[in-house]
Amino acid sequence: MDMTRRPRRLRTDGVRPLVRETDLAASDLIAPVFVDATTDERVPIETMPGHERVPVSEAVARVEEIRETGVEAVMLFGVPESKDDRGSRAWAEDGVVQEATRRITAETDAYVITDICLCEYTDHGHCGVLEDDAAEDPTLTVRNDETLELLADIAVSHARAGADMVAPSGMIDGMVGAIRGALDEDGHTEVPIMSYAAKFESAFYGPFRDAADGAPAFGDRRHYQMDPANAREARREVDLDVQQGADVLMVKPALPYLDIVAQVRDHHDHPVAAYNVSGEYAMLHAAAEKGWLDLESVAYESLLSIKRAGADLILTYFAEDVADRL
């Protein structure tokens, strides 16, 4: 037996950290923040232990808590005080995300990214303007081109409020191009777009819909979010967003789609982001509560695997806990 090659030589305590191929840092992480215009106090999210909806008045304090752990960036999601069939509160000047953004950017050094979508703002919970027969006999459920105009309005309203980056998440064809054009026309040429370029219709989103009050009132989102079976389609989707001017490319969810993260990393030189979603967070918490897993260890290992697959940025509900460990 040829024992010339012994990989274990590089696993001793002294050399092991020197040859580590992947590093995870607090600066790689983005922490989601849920701002709720319907409450005056923090409201725990039952399906996401450790997370809360916070009122606008608490948004700055919540972000300061995150910053203390070393995490520098936050993603804002809003729960509006009222909803309608077009989600008009999403682009209101005094909307929940707009007001929270103004306060956070004025009082902290956090890098503020805002979610650009309509599901939290529409009374039907879908990500755009509905087809006439969407509830009974949908073809594509959401009217694509009419929705683009609304997404552009949302992005401009967030940029005017001071958002550092906007992140369209609805998987509407042409959304990046429409938003880029609207931002540039309004003078926000410096505001980058982090596109949810490959967002799958996943069963891992359940707890988020509780957190953001954005579950569909009927049907599902199969007509605009991607089929989990399709990898080649993901590459086409990402290519289109690159052509339209996306600055950062997001894959969502993360753990069941590490192959897609790696594929995007291999084929593009853009920064790659991955969303470690609510279901991935909740299932580890549930297992840890049963005593089956050590939460701190599996959380760190999960995020390390996402980074190893090629993500530069990770949006995760574990951001604060893992940053504390780091």
pLDDT at 216: 80
Please indicate whether residue 83 is annotated as part of the active site.
Answer: no
Q: What is the DSSP string of 123-178?
A: TT--SSPBPTTTTTS-SSSB-HHHHHHHHHHHHHHHHHHT-SEEEE-S--TTHHHH
Q: How many CB atoms lie within 10 A of CB 164?
A: 18
pLDDT at 211: 67
Alpha-helical (H) ranges within the chain are 59-67, 96-107, 144-161, 175-185, 206-212, 232-244, 258-267, 278-289, 295-309, 319-325
pLDDT at 117: 94
pLDDT at 214: 67
Please indicate whether residue 290 is annotated as part of the active site.
Answer: no
Which of the following is catalytic: 83, 252, 290, 307? Answer: 252
**At which residue do the structure tokens 């509160």 appear?**
89
Q: How many CB atoms lie within 10 A of CB 139?
A: 8
162 is written with which tokens? 């001071």
pLDDT at 213: 67
The rounded radius of gyration (Å) of the Cα atoms in the chain is 20
89 is written with which tokens? 């509160």
267 is written with which tokens? 């084929």
| Low-confidence residues in the chain, pLDDT < 70 | 209-214
What CA–CA distance (Å, rounded) separates 289 from 250?
30
Strands 73-79 and 165-168: unpaired
212 is written with which tokens? 């953001």
145-160: pLDDT as tens digits:
999 999 999 999 999 9
> 306 in helix, strand or coil?
helix
pLDDT at 59: 98
